[in-house]
């Protein structure tokens, strides 16, 4: 039996975590696009453009722009507690 490929629009949860880790927001993915070098995600809440090194999230109506750098997992382990709280409050997103 062949394993089904994940549906990128429905099988993943995209989260935006504030820099101070006080707010976690689940983003609603509407559309995605991929090319050789650039990935794009179009959310109800804004637009994300990224590659293997960096990215930018532009909030809806261009209210704010957030630049990101890709990090090794050991650099983001401090988010685990924030994510535990978020998923305990949003159990339906775990499935």
Task: Report which of residues 87 and 9 the model is more confident about.
Answer: 87
CA angle 15, 29, 35 (to 5 degrees): 100
Is the residue at 1 inside a domain? Answer: no
Tokens of 21: 């880790």
Tokens of 23: 């707010």
Q: How many domains does the chain have?
A: 1
Is the residue at 50 inside a domain? Answer: yes
So what's the pLDDT on residue 28?
92
Model confidence pLDDT, tens digit, residues 27-86? 999 999 998 899 999 999 999 999 999 999 999 988 889 898 887 777 666 777 777 777
CA distance 41 to 19: 20
Contact 47, 63 (CB under 8 A): no
Is the residue at 5 inside a domain? Answer: no
Provide the domain limits for residue 18.
14-94
Task: Report which of residues 7 and 46 the model is more confident about.
Answer: 46
Is the residue at 56 inside a domain? Answer: yes
So what's the pLDDT on residue 40?
95
Is the residue at 7 inside a domain? Answer: no
pTM of the model: 0.73
């Amino acid at each position: 039996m062949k394993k089904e490929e994940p549906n990128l629009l429905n099988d993943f949860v995209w989260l935006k975590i504030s820099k101070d880790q006080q707010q976690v927001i689940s983003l609603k993915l509407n559309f995605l696009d991929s090319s050789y070098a650039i990935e794009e995600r179009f959310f109800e809440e804004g637009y994300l453009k990224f590659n293997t090194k960096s990215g930018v999230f532009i909030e809806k109506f261009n209210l704010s722009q957030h630049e990101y750098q890709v990090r090794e997992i050991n650099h983001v382990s401090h988010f685990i507690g924030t994510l535990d709280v978020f998923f305990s409050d949003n159990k339906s997103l775990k499935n």
